[in-house]
Structures are given as structure tokens and as C-alpha cells.
Amino acid sequence: QVQLVESGGGLVQAGGSLRLSCVASSGSVDIGGAFSTYGMGWYRQAPGKQRVLVASITSAGSPYYADTVKGRFTISKDNAKNTVYLQMNSLKPEDTAVYYCSRMSTGTWGPGTQVTVSS
């Protein structure tokens, strides 16, 4: 079973940038080229709110962005490293949330990484 682990969260001032990473693994099994077939997504959940999709990328590399982050966030995927990234620029206090990566087709989630943007 594929496991996902996010990293890169932290505390940043408004207007700053962060890059989140999410590495996929399957224990001792090398998922190898399988990661290239995964569509991956980044979600976020603010306190008291539902988890929402922020960005996703298909296996072919086509991105999708929520309107709230369009033009500020960039999703990318490095199949050689089994990693999906979320570059977040021009951060706003309303971007504060726990960010989760997900394998879209199976609903597999990582434990999340906290992003806090101070005003």
C-alpha cells in the first residue's frame, strides 16, 4: 500500500513563499514507474472548515487549481523522485491550514503539514 508523507510546512509572513513536498513510498516495495501513473492532489483544511482541493495534477502532467490559489500556487511532479510539490507564493493569512497530499484515484492521504501565514 502506498504511503504519503508531506513536508515543508511552517510559519511565514504574508507575501512569503513555501514549497511543500510529498513523497510516495510503499515500504520495501519499489513503486518505481508506478508513481508516474498517479494523479496527485494537494488539499487543505483550516480550523473548523472542510478539507478542500487546492491543486491537482494528472498522470499526464495537466494541472488544476482552485480559484483561491490560481496564479500564486504551482503544482509539479517529479516521477523519478516519487514526489509531488506545491510551490506557494504570495501567501495570505487565509492560506493558513493543514495541507495534505493525496493520491487522487484511491483517496490515500498523508498525515499533513501545517502552514501558518502571519499578517
Q: What does the pLDDT look like over 74-119, one tens digit per residue? A: 999 999 999 999 999 999 999 999 999 999 988 899 999 999 999 9
Average pLDDT over residues 7-15: 98
The one-letter amino acid code at 62 reads: S
Percent of the chain with pLDDT strictly greater than 90: 84
Assign 68 a pLDDT band (cuts: 50, 70, 90): very high
Report the pLDDT value the prediction gives residue 106, as an integer from 0 to 100. Answer: 87
**Mean per-residue pLDDT, 26-36:** 76
CA 36/CA 112 separation, integer angstroms: 22
Centre a 10 Å sphere on the Cβ of residue 36 and count the other Cβ atoms it contains: 14
pLDDT at 32 over 90: no
pLDDT at 30 over 80: no
Tell me whether strands 63-65 and 52-57 are parallel, antiparallel or unpaired: antiparallel
Question: Which residues make beta-bridge pairs with 21?
Answer: 7, 85
Q: Residue 28: its pLDDT value, please?
A: 64
Residues 6 or more apart whose CB falls under 8 angstroms from that of 32 comprise none
Query: Closest Cα partner for 40 from 20, 30, 55?
Result: 55
Residue 46 is placed in which grid cell? 483550516
Residue 19's pLDDT is what? 98
